[in-house]
Chain A
Amino acid sequence: MYLKAALNWEPIVAIRPAQFGRSLIAITFGLSFNASISAQETVTAPSPAVVTTTPVESTTPPVPAATTTEANSLSDAEILERLPKLPTAQLQNLLSVYARLKNDQMSDSIMAELNRRAPGSITAEMTRSMRNEALGIDNASPNPYEVEETQIDVLTTRKQYAETIAIMEQLRIQKLGGRYFPLEGSAIAGKLFDGNDRA
């Protein structure tokens, strides 16, 4: 389109020295220019746009690639055979991974071996906790004061401190027999209250 307009410009320039009226020149140029546009639109096809492709960074994390060590590693059956010989720390590591992989057969076998080595309720509880932790199960016991804690949190957020203190005092007298609250660091707080640790 631009090229056509330039070509049509030449006759107009040629006319100007001949003292033609300015308006006539303008009309002539305008007509020729419009004609060139229409001609251009009918003849030429739109030039294809140049598409530049930029590498898009992948948002998905890379899949861990397999290594050559896998060929040399033991099978599950071989692990089971060696369980009695393996150190306890390695058994615990294996249990944590097999439990995460939800391989119940291997997990049960390793737990049985761990419990065989150190029979007792504490060991069994620890092993079960370790497995639950691996499975993402909460090991914490239910909080007996959850309702009161929620109430206190809400009141404190609303800055209703008098009501908060009243609920806490009621809880302390009725459920804790007038003792200190079983909070973290309560032993230190108790000593401070008694004045034992004061300088």
Chain B
Amino acid sequence: METTEPDFEGWTFMGDIHRMLGNTTMAGASYKRALEYLKTSLTSDEDIVQSNQ
């Protein structure tokens, strides 16, 4: 079965689960991964826009 890297929603969801279980450290780590994913997608979107111009 092919697996893919989780996107920001996946990391956010995982963080919510950790937060619900009281594991704030893991929740924070997952949220940071979600943020990094978003930031990376922003830069890649900009790259696509610049290459199309």
Contact = CB atoms under 8 A, between A and B. Distances in A.
A189 B18 CA distance: 41
Which of the four size classes fits the interface of chain A? 20 to 34
Contacts of B33: 64
B38 A97 contact: yes
A67 B26 CA distance: 16
Contacts of A64: 11, 29-30, 32-33
A70 B36 contact: yes
Contact of A82 (B12, B38, B42): B42
Contacts of B38: 90, 93-94, 97
Contact of A100 (B31, B39, B43): B31
Nearest to B29: A64
Contacts of A47: none
B42 A74 contact: yes
Contact of B28 (A70, A90, A101): A101
Nearest to B20: A136
Nearest to B30: A64
Which of the four size classes fits the interface of chain B? 20 to 34
B14 to A, nearest CB: 8
A19 interface: no
Contacts of B36: 67, 69-70, 73
Interface in B1-41: 8, 11-12, 15-16, 18-19, 26-41
Nearest to A94: B38
A114 to B, nearest CB: 15
B35 A98 contact: yes
Given A63-B26, A64-B33, A73-B36, A97 B8 contact: yes
24 contacts: A61-B26, A63-B26, A64-B33, A69-B36, A69-B37, A72-B40, A73-B39, A73-B40, A73-B43, A74-B39, A86-B42, A90-B38, A90-B42, A93-B8, A94-B35, A97-B34, A97-B35, A100-B15, A100-B16, A100-B34, A101-B28, A101-B31, A101-B32, A101-B35
Interface of A: 61, 63-64, 67, 69-70, 72-74, 79, 82, 86, 90, 93-94, 96-98, 100-101, 136
